[in-house]
Structure 1
Amino acid sequence: MVTIDGANVKKLIVACDAGMGSSIMLATTLKKQLKNSGVTVEHSAVHEIPADADVVVTQNNLAARAREAAGEGTPVIPFQLFMGDPAVARVVEAIQNGTSIEV
């Protein structure tokens, strides 16, 4: 397990591969949810995850590739639902409240 300290997250990446637009919608939603938290939310291809990412959220089937691209120590949160996924909601809540969660 990895601990995410929500107070220290400055850059959240939504990583995708399909190019269908769903992940861009998720990134837009997360930007709105986190706009008062001082967190930058960016969309990235799974093979181009920036080195300065603090946390990455991606579809379940891309999680292994995202872990390789993000590097050791960067938490990768897999999700199933583009909107309303509990795993993503926990990360957002931790960032908003400045709390820690184990993932």
Structure 2
Amino acid sequence: MNGKDIRKIVVACDAGMGSSVMLASSLRKELRKAGVAVEHTPVNSIPGDADVVVCHEGLGARARTSAPDKPLVTFQVFLGDPAVTRLVAAIKDGGEIGA
């Protein structure tokens, strides 16, 4: 999938401690001009209209079960993770996002 085709990112979480909410807010601000919506949802309730799912690597298997046909970007660090940085760059520059 080309980054320019992404219109909705879902940040999936589990514990509800707020870290993923901060990531979603950061992505929302960073991608506003690109016209990308960013939502925050429980990992077991990923909506079908998501273009890309972003979650902590510990939730990757559950996210893959919940949204098996969506590209999945997993990260280790909630803010400043290289995987999320690559996703943002691909959206802004039109790079490819792996499934």
Task: Work out whether the TM-score is over 0.5.
Answer: yes
Residues paired across the two proteins, number = 99
Q: Which residue of structure 2 lines up, in the alignment, with residue 6 of structure 1?
A: 3
State percent identity of aligned pairs: 54
Q: Does 1:77 align with 2:86?
A: no
Equivalent residue of 1:19, what SS?
coil
Which structure: greater strand fraction? Answer: 1
Shift of 1:102: 3.6
Equivalent-residue separation in structure 2 for 1:11 and 1:102 (angstroms):
16
Q: How high is the TM-score relative to the length of structure 1?
A: 0.91
Equivalent residue of 1:71, what SS?
coil
Q: Does 1:67 align with 2:64?
A: yes
Matches for 1:7-86 after TM superposition, within 5 Å: 7-72=4-69, 74-86=70-82
Query: Unaligned regions of 5+ residues in structure 2, if any?
Result: none
**Does the Cα contact within 8 Å between 2:14 and 2:42 map onto a contact in 1?**
yes
Equivalent residue of 1:57, what SS?
strand
Q: Which residue of structure 1 lines up, in the alignment, with residue 87 of structure 2?
A: 91
Equivalent-residue separation in structure 1 for 2:97 and 2:51 (angstroms):
14
Matched AA of 1:26: L
Calculate the aligned-residue CA RMSD, in Å.
1.1
Which structure: greater helix fraction? Answer: 2
Matched AA of 2:39: E
Matched AA of 1:94: A
